Amino acid sequence: MIRSELIQKIADENPHLYQRDVERIVNTVFEEVTGAMARGDRVELRGFGAFSVKKRDARIGRNPRTGETVHVEEKHVPFFKTGKLLRDRLNGKQ
Amino acid sequence: MGEKTLTRMDLSEAVFREVGLSRNESAQLVESMLEHMSDALVQGEQVKISSFGTFSVREKSARIGRNPKTGEEVPIQPRRVLTFRPSHLMKDRVADGNRKS
């Protein structure tokens, strides 16, 4: 499923909404999640999962081609943990 | 930097502000997005949202696990797990937004 298919499914269920509003709605939701993580916040969607930000410490890396050592700075990366309900559903429970 | 936790409520509030539907309908739309995504994943489909990220289902085979506390061996059944791979855009925004300045 891609973004446009998700938009289409929601548009089909809501014939009273303009397609372009459904697009805005779907885009707003994803944008809120990304925006929250960019601020260092987490987003917890019970049953579905939680988006959070993890810190990766600075480390000494190595260029695999040249073997040269490089300093890799501390950075923050997005992380998703699947919710219990969805995890159970993936495994055929309820 | 944040530390706040957003919930469905915050997402529906954003939809409410953006499109001007009722709060109730905004909440239902957020819920139905999550349901459609979950349903696709449960059917084994990948969910690929451009400039956000990709959710995919991976099959894990059975293995012998170990209770780290007691050292006891326990069988782990084959199972399906969900992984999320953030898009480059998301990774960049999260890295930039949380950089110490």
Decide if A56 touches B, using CB distance below 8 A.
Answer: no
Find all residues with CB under 8 Å of A23, minimum gap 6, and list them: A7
Mean pLDDT of B73-81: 91
Looking at the predicted structure, is the pLDDT value of residue B21 above 80?
A: yes
In this prediction, residue A67 carries a pLDDT of 87
How far apart (Å, rounded) are the C-alpha atoms in residues A47 and B38? 9
In this prediction, residue B2 carries a pLDDT of 61
Mean pLDDT of A27-50: 97
Decide if B36 touches A, using CB distance below 8 A.
Answer: yes
Taking an 8 Å cut-off on Cβ atoms, the answer to whether A48 and B6 are in contact is no
Find all residues with CB under 8 Å of A35, minimum gap 6, and list them: none
Looking at the predicted structure, is the pLDDT value of residue B3 above 90?
A: no
Closest-CA residue of chain B to A21: B19
Distance from CA of B25 to the nearest CA of A (A): 10
Mean pLDDT of B78-89: 96
Looking at the predicted structure, is the pLDDT value of residue B1 above 80?
A: no
Whole-structure pTM value: 0.90
Mean pLDDT of chain B: 93
Mean pLDDT of chain A: 95
How far apart (Å, rounded) are the C-alpha atoms in residues B46 and A2? 8
Taking an 8 Å cut-off on Cβ atoms, the answer to whether A24 and B18 are in contact is yes
Find all residues with CB under 8 Å of B34, minimum gap 6, and list them: A45, A47, A48
Looking at the predicted structure, is the pLDDT value of residue A86 above 80?
A: yes
Decide if B93 touches A, using CB distance below 8 A.
Answer: yes
| B82 vs A contacts (CB less than 8 Å) | 49, 82, 86-87, 90
Closest to B84 measured CA to CA, from B56, B58, B60, B59: B56
pLDDT bin (cut points 50, 70, 90) of residue A47 is very high
The beta-strand segments (E) located in A1-94 are 42-45, 49-56, 59-62, 69-72, 75-82
Closest to A51 measured CA to CA, from B100, B16, B45, B53: B53
How far apart (Å, rounded) are the C-alpha atoms in residues B33 and B23? 16
Question: Is residue B89 within 8 Å of residue B51, measured between CB atoms?
Answer: yes
Looking at the predicted structure, is the pLDDT value of residue B71 above 60?
A: yes
